[in-house]
Amino acid sequence: MKAPSFDYVKPSTLSEVFSLLQEHGDTARIIAGGQTLLATLNMRLSEPKLLIDINGVRGLSGISVQENCVRIGAMTRHSEIEESHLIAAHMPLLAMTAPHVAHKAIRNKGTLGGSIAFADPAAEWPCCAVALDAVIVMASQRGLRRVNAGDFFQDLYTTDMASDELIVACEFPLQPSTTVCAFEELARRHGDYAIVGLAAVAQASGKTLSNLRLVFLGAGNIPVRARAVERALEGQPLGPELLVAARKALAGELAPAADLYNSAEMKLHLANVLLNRTLAKLTA
């Protein structure tokens, strides 16, 4: 199918973007990498009257290490995150996750901000943002607004962002040196959206994990934090009994919906497989 007709503008400043969003509201749509939006237009799942291309706006991309966080501009491409030495050194969860985001050609165009804004429950960046307790920075004519990733994702493809706002950056808090992390996912083919995935961050002392954050993708309408599993594992040395307790806790709190290819039971089974693999990595 072909996209419906729309007007197109390419502003060069944020203030122009803000006025356009203010003027056109819900009938306008930001276009960043276009890797999701163009497909939804072609399938006529979305029919905006105006596309606001933010590729010409300066200052929206780049990775920097600040006093308390790693700041990644919204227009930073997935592949820049994948290849960044700063990310490898300071935010290894993002470095190990990046190769799982789509295919190389899509990673070269797609942006962090686009992925966070679209809020696909099977996408990797929203899941990592919740696991790393990131802050989503939004801007509009009203000024800047910061929201924790855990509050930003509200429902299927639904976020806390208002129609006159745009994401300008994500801030990932710097982690203590005892931090361990792991990312695992299962996809039909590498580069496809995953069936289920798990991003994990914790403090490790030998086989004992604390301050765990275990966040599943593909297991609900938003990234799902497995809080009962986190509690079951907190501060105790990992062994066979604890693993059984963790599996029980997961079965009690994770209720993934079936998709076209996988039953709910299959997805829960896969989530368990990922939990085992992830815990083994965290305590290795």
Ligand X SMILES: Cc1cc2nc3c(=O)[nH]c(=O)nc-3n(C[C@H](O)[C@H](O)[C@H](O)COP(=O)(O)OP(=O)(O)OC[C@H]3O[C@@H](n4cnc5c(N)ncnc54)[C@H](O)[C@@H]3O)c2cc1C
Binding site for ligand X (CB under 6 A): 29-37, 39, 74, 101-102, 106, 110-111, 113-115, 117-118, 123-124, 166-167, 193
Rounded Cα–Cα distance for residues 102 and 74 (Å): 18
Q: For residues 9 and 251, which CB has a smaller minimum distance to ligand X in the complex?
A: 9
* Cβ at position 21, least distance to ligand X in Å: 9
Q: For residues 39 and 257, which CB has a smaller minimum distance to ligand X in the complex?
A: 39
Contact 110, 101 (CB under 8 A): yes
Rounded Cα–Cα distance for residues 28 and 163 (Å): 9
* Cβ at position 71, least distance to ligand X in Å: 14
* CB-based contacts of 3, cutoff 8 Å, min separation 6: 38, 41, 42, 44
* Cβ at position 155, least distance to ligand X in Å: 15
Rounded Cα–Cα distance for residues 279 and 229 (Å): 11
With CB atoms as reference, the residue minimizing the distance to ligand X is: 110
Segment (H or E) for 15? helix 14-24
Q: For residues 91 and 167, which CB has a smaller minimum distance to ligand X in the complex?
A: 167
* Cβ at position 29, least distance to ligand X in Å: 4
Q: For residues 183 and 193, which CB has a smaller minimum distance to ligand X in the complex?
A: 193
Interior/surface letters 148-170, b for 16+ CB within 10 angstroms, e for the rest: ebbebbeeeeebbbeebbbbbbb
* Cβ at position 100, least distance to ligand X in Å: 7
Neighbours of 14 (CB within 10 A): 18
At residue 179's C-alpha, the angle toward residues 177 and 182, to 5°, is 140
* Cβ at position 68, least distance to ligand X in Å: 22
Q: For residues 52 and 282, which CB has a smaller minimum distance to ligand X in the complex?
A: 52
Contact 13, 21 (CB under 8 A): no
Rounded Cα–Cα distance for residues 259 and 195 (Å): 9
Q: For residues 100 and 213, which CB has a smaller minimum distance to ligand X in the complex?
A: 100
* Cβ at position 104, least distance to ligand X in Å: 11
Q: For residues 37 and 246, which CB has a smaller minimum distance to ligand X in the complex?
A: 37
